[in-house]
Amino acid sequence: MISIDPITLAVSSFAMVASASPFLYYSYKLKRISNENLATFEEFSSNNNVMPTQHERWRNHYHLGLDSQYKKLVYHRFGSYPEQSVIDLKEVIKVSIQEKIRRVQVGKEKRYILEFLALQFHFKDFTHSPKTIEIYDGELFTSVAGEKGIAEKWQKILENHLKD
């Protein structure tokens, strides 16, 4: 049988707890922020009489929801520059993807870096300027994590609702 010294056991237990505590704290903090963001989104939706049947959250920074019955889109951006919007799809004629790309050349290699990605709503009333909702901002995040796919998916979903 292996004999373990009580002092060694105490020191190693303390070291394990000390090394795990930052990860546990960060996980708790992210979960709390996520729950607060969800509560804020749900409160904003209910205040505007919108009940999203389909929604998506990404990067703990954006939340998009669609009420299929009343054809309304709810958008919420959190962070330093928060934004809340409700878009009535009955007033929209077209949804397009807006992107800003920067070209960088290093030696002979050319790279294209996405700086901004958004969905842009064009309204039936041409006096109403187009509304843009941000999907990705290159100043906030250093790399793209599927936002291009999110934008394309939501463009298709919204275009299908415009046809109905």
Residue 163 in contact with residue 133, Cβ under 8 Å? no
Residue 64: predicted pLDDT = 94
Is a pLDDT exceeding 80 seen at residue 112? yes
Q: The tokens of 106 are what?
A: 């290093």
pLDDT, tens only, 56-90: 998 888 999 999 999 999 999 988 888 999 999 99
Residue 2: predicted pLDDT = 72
pLDDT, tens only, 4-19: 788 888 888 888 888 9
Residue 34: predicted pLDDT = 84
First vs last C-alpha separation in the chain? 74
Q: The tokens of 53 are what?
A: 């049947």
**Radius of gyration of the chain, Cα coordinates, nearest whole angstrom:** 23
What is this structure's pTM?
A: 0.80
Residue 74 in contact with residue 86, Cβ under 8 Å? yes
Residues contacting 100, CB < 8 A, separation 6+? 114, 115, 116, 117
d(CA 61, CA 135): 10
Residue 139: predicted pLDDT = 85
Confidence of residue 1 (pLDDT cuts 50, 70, 90): low
